[in-house]
Amino acid sequence: MPKYQILTYGCQMNYSDSERMETYMEALGFDKTNDIQDADIILLNTCSIKQKAEDKVLGKMREIRRLKKDPIVIITGCMVRESSSRYSEKRDPLFPRVKELDVALRTEELPKLAELLREISPEMEIEDIEEESLEDYLKIDATHSSHNSKTQALLPISNGCDKFCTYCIVPYARGREKSRKLEDILEEAKKLVENGCLEITLIGQTVNSYGLSNYDKEHKTFENLESEPFVHLLEELDKLEALQRVRFTSPHPKDMSDQLIDAMASLRTQMPYLHLPLQAGDNDVLKRMNRPYTIEKFEEVVKKLRDRIPEISISTDIIVGFCGETEEEYQNTYDRFKSLGFEHAYIAQYSDRKGTTANRFMKDDIPTETKRERWDKLNELLKVHSKDALERFIGKTVNVLVEDQSDDLCTGRCENFKTVQFQAKKPLLGKIVQVRITGKVPWVLKGEMV
């Protein structure tokens, strides 16, 4: 049988989507390979949040060009606008740019892949499969494919986005926000737990707006719930006795309600960690970004979180050098970053993305050197915050879910999502063990088993 390889770039949503792609390809009868030299079909599941992400994919084409085989090349994910093959009448804009490309596939149109493969290679005699008839690609069962770990899983609860931040391509790449049915999510979660999963991470473009999108409201799918839809989902997952941990990423500050904060504080499976994207610490910049909250509102949410969950660790996203960002506006971001005490952050220099509102109506007018200087300054502050955050764990005992074990060195995450390393001779991969923290190195806690 033909062999396939999936190369995944980008966020957790992309990696979760790749698991469903794997299920789909296996349903077609293809065999998986980890060697690109053996692949008859190469799927590149792409990210386009920054130009650098697209450059990685385009650079991979040079390697594909040198292969002995002439594989079928499929690009899917956020770089694609129009599901099509090289023979389609209406083709994706990628085709003139990538001469090796055979199929472009929007992620949510994964069920169409077999049809597009038949267009490209009729000699393959691809049979009809059940997955082709599905209207929702998230109904393709990822629990049968090889998750990175049987004890951890990414569980998508929605797709697309309605927020339309001016710098972001996601609403155009993935479409408008649509939540999965509650029963479908719970069914998948139960299967994962039955197969030994201890930790589930709920994912979506703005995960805590689950059930609140325009589509959801029009279809009145969640109108009879007593709790907010996302809170209700957390409550139902909390009832799965064997499930130990539930995390979610990334929430939107606008939808961080008091009800959600209370649920995080009271539910057994909720962990004391939250990644809450700020993006900028200046109200004028937030307005240009179309982020529908003020810095004061964000600070209020953080205060409530820390009041209700004193041990919580909070991380964030920051973009420096956004269109028109003045020195004063950047300084406001720096000052708020400092006062809010984020324990970790993903700091990005603004990258102009074709097709976004910022690209069409704003000028990317901050010099590259200035962006770099602002990034460096903020990153130095982050190092101080991270060091202080790790310091408070020394002497404490934490529960670590072991994610990797190489020789005697175990690596995993504690409740606060800190990376912890310790020595152990017996096999502990996929187990939760108690570790007393004895020291730290940059970004990592060191400890010993209790």
Q: Determine whether domain 147-386 maps to CATH 3.40.50.300.
A: no
Contact 229, 222 (CB under 8 A): yes
Helices (H), 167-293: 170-174, 182-194, 214-219, 229-238, 258-266, 283-288
Contact 4, 25 (CB under 8 A): yes
Contact 46, 57 (CB under 8 A): yes
CA dist 142 and 129 (Å) reads 16
Collect all residues with Cβ–Cβ distance below 8 Å to 328 and sequence separation of at least 6: 282
The token pair at 365 is 């007018």
Identify the DSSP state of 203: E
Q: According to CATH, what is the number of the domain 397-449?
A: 2.40.50.140
Contact 76, 21 (CB under 8 A): yes
Question: What integer pLDDT is reported at residue 10 of this predicted model?
Answer: 87
For the chain, residues with pLDDT lower than 70 are 143-149
- What is each CA distance from 259 to 1, 183, 397, 416, in whole angstroms? 52, 22, 30, 21
The model carries a pTM of 0.90
CA dist 208 and 437 (Å) reads 32
Where along the chain do its domains lie?
A: 3-133, 147-386, 397-449
Task: For residue 343, give the amino acid letter.
Answer: E
Q: What DSSP assignment string belongs to 131-153?
A: GGG-S-GGGS--TTS--SBTTEE
Question: What integer pLDDT is reported at residue 48 of this predicted model?
Answer: 83
Contact 49, 78 (CB under 8 A): yes
- Token look-up 């953080």 returns 302
Q: What is the 3-state secondary structure (H, E, C) of 49-111?
A: CCHHHHHHHHHHHHHHHCCCCCCEEEEEECCCCCCEECCCCCCCCHHHHCCCCCEEECHHHHH
User: H or E segment at 371?
Assistant: helix 368-391
Question: What integer pLDDT is reported at residue 146 of this predicted model?
Answer: 45
Question: What integer pLDDT is reported at residue 102 of this predicted model?
Answer: 97
Task: For residue 402, give the amino acid letter.
Answer: V
CA dist 231 and 237 (Å) reads 10
The token pair at 313 is 């660790």
- Count of C-beta atoms within a 10 Å radius of residue 5: 19
Q: Determine whether domain 3-133 maps to CATH 3.40.50.12160.
A: yes
Task: For residue 130, give the amino acid letter.
Answer: E
Contact 87, 99 (CB under 8 A): no
CA dist 204 and 260 (Å) reads 16
CA dist 205 and 11 (Å) reads 10
Question: What integer pLDDT is reported at residue 143 of this predicted model?
Answer: 58
- Token look-up 């049915």 returns 181
Q: What is the largest CA-CA distance in the chain?
A: 65
CA dist 102 and 100 (Å) reads 7
CA dist 449 and 390 (Å) reads 18
Identify the DSSP state of 425: S
Contact 286, 255 (CB under 8 A): no
Identify the DSSP state of 255: G
Residue 2 has φ and ψ, to the nearest 5°, of -60, 150
Contact 400, 420 (CB under 8 A): yes
Tell me the β-bridge partners of 32: 4
CA dist 106 and 108 (Å) reads 6
